Amino acid sequence: MDIEQKLENIRGIIVRAKRWDLFFTLLGILSLMVGVLTFTILFVDMAIEGVPRLSMDFFTSFPSRRAANAGILSAWVGTVLVMLLTALAAVPLGVAAGVYLEEYAPKNWITDIIEINISNLAGIPSIVYGLLALGLFVYYFGFGQSILSAGLTLALLILPVIIVATREAIRSIPQAIHEGSYACGATTWQTVRDHILPYSSAGILTGVILGMARAIGETAPIITIGALTFIAFLPPAPFTGEPPAGLFDWIFAPFTVMPIQMFNWTSRPEAAFTVNAAAAGFVLVFMTLAMNGLAIYLRYRLRKNIKW
């Protein structure tokens, strides 16, 4: 009888545990659906309002005081150039910093302070990066209100994300790979080059995806360093000037980006400008999804080619 009572108690515990498990499963699904449905509703509403405005003229025209004639040419070109500089600056530095902290840095209090600061930097509001860039890049280094200043500012913004993602990707590699490489006589650099980076590249790309997705929609730091809200010209085409310095004239040119163009239009009282802003928002979301889709495809290909 005592054994039967114990078995009954165990069955009761299992039933209660399964009930709580079901409850938290439903709660998680509900929380996920709230976020997904909210985004879906907003995106569909923006698409319904903005897609009819999309045309070739909308992509090839400069902003105008007349809503019917306004386009996003300078905005999407500026966004592409700024994102290009951001990726060129942030990805190599972020990956190199992550590799150094995991494979080379000694484990002491200085390294601990660096790691804590990197984690804290990931949560700092973006406007702080804008103020830092205003004093450092715009005034101290004299880059001015240029594409270079914007790209470096956003690179600083996403650098902690890439560093943390790189370190986590490296930590996910089995320790046996490190030990096997060193046992065969490989140096630290040979281990990193031939094993660590190839095996962790898929995880590193995840951090790059998250960082670039955040950077493309940032407005506060870009406004702080002086991005234009109305611009009716394009930067010089990259690498088309007279060498040597003329090849890089474009990085010192004034610019605007998609979020600022949308902000400018939504601040106008005319309803037609709101339609333009919705169309620009749809394009921005599509650009973000296209960029993320490319990174996800590359990550899939890398994972497929890895042989453990």
Structural domain boundaries of the chain? 1-53, 55-305
Q: Dihedrals φ, ψ of 100, to 5°?
A: -60, -45
Q: Kindly report the CATH class assigned to 55-305.
A: mainly alpha
Instruction: Look up residue 140 and give its amino acid.
Output: Y
pLDDT in tens, 217-236: 888 888 888 777 777 778 87
What local confidence, expressed as pLDDT, does residue 8 receive? 73
Q: How many CB atoms lie under 10 A from the CB of residue 219?
A: 17
The whole-angstrom separation of Cα 99 and Cα 105 is 9
**pLDDT tens for the chain, residues 1 to 308:** 567 777 777 777 777 778 888 888 888 888 888 878 888 888 888 888 888 888 888 888 888 888 888 888 888 888 888 988 999 999 999 999 988 888 888 888 888 888 888 878 877 888 888 888 888 888 888 888 888 888 999 998 899 889 988 888 888 888 888 778 888 888 888 888 888 888 888 788 888 888 888 888 888 888 888 777 777 778 877 766 666 656 677 888 888 888 888 888 888 878 888 888 888 888 888 888 888 788 778 777 777 666 55
Helix axes 73-99, 147-171, angle to 10 degrees: 40
pLDDT in tens, 6-35: 777 777 777 777 888 888 888 888 888 887
Task: Note the pLDDT of residue 92.
Answer: 92
Q: Is 236 exposed, middle or buried (0-12, 13-18, 19+ CB in 10 A)?
A: middle
pLDDT in the model for residue 209: 84
The pLDDT of residue 308 is 52
Spatial contact of 261 and 62, defined as CB atoms under 8 Å apart: no
Dihedral angle of Cα 125, 280, 232, 269, to the nearest 10 degrees = -90
Given this model, what pLDDT does residue 241 score? 63
